[in-house]
């Protein structure tokens, strides 16, 4: 009799956990996909038409590829004609040749490093937002090419392909939501906001760390936002999920003395956000977004509404309601490195229409 009762209890627990995962996956999918895919791109109307990049089938389900320009070359030429002054400023700042397909990532990376006060002095807010959205869409042909290569990689079995694709596809795709609803461990965390804030205050301005290293993009520009966010999580009491050397699994950093190794979920903004987004909230309105924030929150945005998180930051505290129609909040972040009020950062300057995300809710 006791064995029967025990079996019933175990089965009930398994059913409960299975239902919980399904509810969690559906919640993630509904919160994100409802706002992310359909978007008209008014800022890019005179630059080029943004269209579907197609789809791929994974485990019997269709998954979107990233949105692209219908004519990539024409879009690039239109941008150069319409945003001459802003592009010339970036070229001068980074010592770049004229913008071409071969060096666009240099321009994109340099643009992401420009701080708010510099933006106000050097270009219009509209130009800044046009450039951000343009590069976010322009790079997607390259992203889609990587996805197709993964699909065609015969050295990977189906399970391995699904693991890699979960890190490469748009965050609202079935394959991504299904995979990460079963492969992260942040939901029931115990997080010490005070300890996290102390670390964030002390290290927001640092450009190097002997313990964790500093991440740079392939073209040599700073790309440390997710690495710094991961450090803050550790400072707040979160434990690594160490599956080294598999970069497509877990959430980890390993200091090998001669070099630092990271999982993609540790050091890469899109996968940090996807890995930790069990409690995510998404909106296209900045005022609504800020109304959900608490100290201890991790936040992100997708400036091109294309299905890839572009930047991660940490909120230490929430302040007064501002005349601009949003709640001010203090942000600690890297790339660019600063600790400051949001009112003196680039965050409020991004126009409504950008997808804003509360990746991890604070206050726990």
Quick one: three-class SS letters along the chain?
Answer: CHHHHHHHHHHHHHHHHHHHHHHHHHHHHHHHHHHHCCCCCHHHCCCCCEECCCEEEECCEEEECCCEECCHHHHHHHHHHHCHHHHHHHHHHHCCCCCCHHHHHHHHHHHHHCCHHHHHHHCCHHHHHHHHHHHHHHCHHHHHHHHHHHHCCCCCCHHHHHHHHHHHCCCCCHHHHHHHCCCCCCCCCCCCHHHHHHHHHHHCCCCCCCCCCCCECCCCCECCHHHHHHHHHHHCCCCCECCCCCCCCCECEEECCCCEEECHHHHCHHHHHHHCHHHCEEECCHHHHHHCCCCCEEEEEECCCCCCCCEEEEEEEEEEECCCCCEEEEEEECCCCEEEEHHHCCHHHCCECEEEEEEECCCC
How confident is the model over 87-142, as pLDDT tens digits?
A: 999 999 999 999 999 999 999 999 999 988 899 899 999 999 999 999 999 999 99
Q: CA nearest 164: which of 67, 265, 55?
A: 265
pLDDT tops 60 at residue 177: yes
pLDDT tops 90 at residue 6: no
Establish how many alpha carbons lie within 13 A of residue 300's alpha carbon, considering only the half-sphere containing its beta carbon. Answer: 31
Q: What is the average per-residue pLDDT within 61-81? A: 98
pLDDT tops 80 at residue 25: no
How confident is the model over 313-347, as pLDDT tens digits?
A: 999 999 999 998 999 999 999 999 999 999 999 89
Of residues 51 and 29, more confidence is placed in: 51
Residues forming a β-bridge with 299 = 313, 358
Please state, in angstroms and rounded to a whole number, the distance separating the CA atoms of residues 248 and 338: 29
Quick one: pLDDT band at residue 8, thresholds 50, 70, 90?
very low
283 within 8 A of 331, measured Cβ to Cβ: no
pLDDT at 260: 97
User: The dihedral of CA 352, 357, 362, 364: what is its sign?
Assistant: positive
pLDDT at 13: 37
Quick one: pLDDT band at residue 214, thresholds 50, 70, 90?
very high
Q: What is the average per-residue pLDDT within 64-74? A: 98
pLDDT at 103: 96
Of residues 341 and 278, more confidence is placed in: 341
For the whole prediction, is pTM greater than 0.85?
yes
Treating both helix axes as pointing N-terminal to C-terminal, what angle do 72-82 and 84-94 enclose, rounded to 10 degrees? Answer: 90
Establish how many alpha carbons lie within 13 A of residue 186's alpha carbon, considering only the half-sphere containing its beta carbon. Answer: 28
Quick one: pLDDT band at residue 288, thresholds 50, 70, 90?
very high
Q: What is the average per-residue pLDDT within 168-190? A: 80
Instruction: Using a pLDDT cut of 90, give the percent of the chain over it.
Output: 73
pLDDT at 37: 60
pLDDT at 143: 97
Tokens of 197: 């804030």
Quick one: pLDDT band at residue 15, thresholds 50, 70, 90?
very low
Please state, in angstroms and rounded to a whole number, the distance separating the CA atoms of residues 178 and 21: 9
Average pLDDT, the chain: 88
């Amino acid at each position: 009799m006791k064995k029967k009762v025990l079996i019933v209890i175990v089965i009930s627990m398994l059913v409960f956990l299975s239902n919980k995962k399904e509810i969690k996956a559906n919640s993630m999918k509904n919160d994100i996909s409802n706002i992310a895919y359909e978007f008209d791109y008014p800022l890019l109307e005179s630059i080029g038409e943004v269209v579907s990049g197609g789809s791929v089938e994974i485990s019997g389900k269709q998954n979107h590829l990233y949105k692209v320009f219908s004519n990539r070359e024409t879009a690039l030429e239109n941008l150069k004609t319409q945003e001459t002054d802003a592009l010339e400023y970036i070229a001068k700042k980074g010592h770049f040749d004229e913008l071409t397909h071969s060096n666009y990532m240099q321009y994109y990376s340099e643009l992401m490093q420009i701080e708010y006060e510099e933006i106000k002095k050097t270009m219009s807010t509209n130009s800044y937002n046009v450039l951000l959205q343009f590069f976010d869409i322009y790079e997607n042909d390259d992203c889609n090419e990587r996805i197709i290569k993964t699909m065609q990689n015969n050295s990977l079995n189906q399970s391995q392909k699904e693991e890699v694709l979960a890190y490469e596809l748009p965050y609202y795709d079935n394959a991504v939501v299904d995979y990460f609803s079963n492969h992260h461990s942040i939901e029931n965390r115990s997080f010490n906001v005070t300890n996290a804030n102390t670390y964030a205050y002390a290290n927001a301005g640092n450009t190097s760390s002997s313990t964790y290293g500093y991440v740079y993009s392939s073209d040599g520009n700073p790309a440390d936002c997710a690495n710094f966010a991961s450090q803050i999580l550790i400072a707040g009491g979160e434990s690594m999920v160490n599956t080294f050397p598999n970069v497509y699994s877990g959430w980890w950093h390993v200091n090998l003395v001669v070099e630092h190794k990271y999982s993609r979920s540790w050091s890469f903004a899109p996968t940090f956000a996807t890995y930790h987004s069990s409690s995510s909230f998404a909106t296209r309105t900045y005022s609504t977004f800020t109304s959900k924030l608490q100290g201890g929150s991790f936040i992100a945005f997708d400036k091109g509404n294309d299905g890839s998180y572009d930047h991660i930051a940490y909120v230490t505290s929430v302040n007064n309601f501002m005349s601009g129609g949003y709640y001010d909040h203090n942000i600690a972040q890297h790339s660019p490195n600063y600790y400051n009020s949001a009112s003196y950062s680039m965050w409020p300057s991004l126009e409504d229409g950008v997808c804003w995300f509360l990746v991890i809710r604070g206050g726990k």
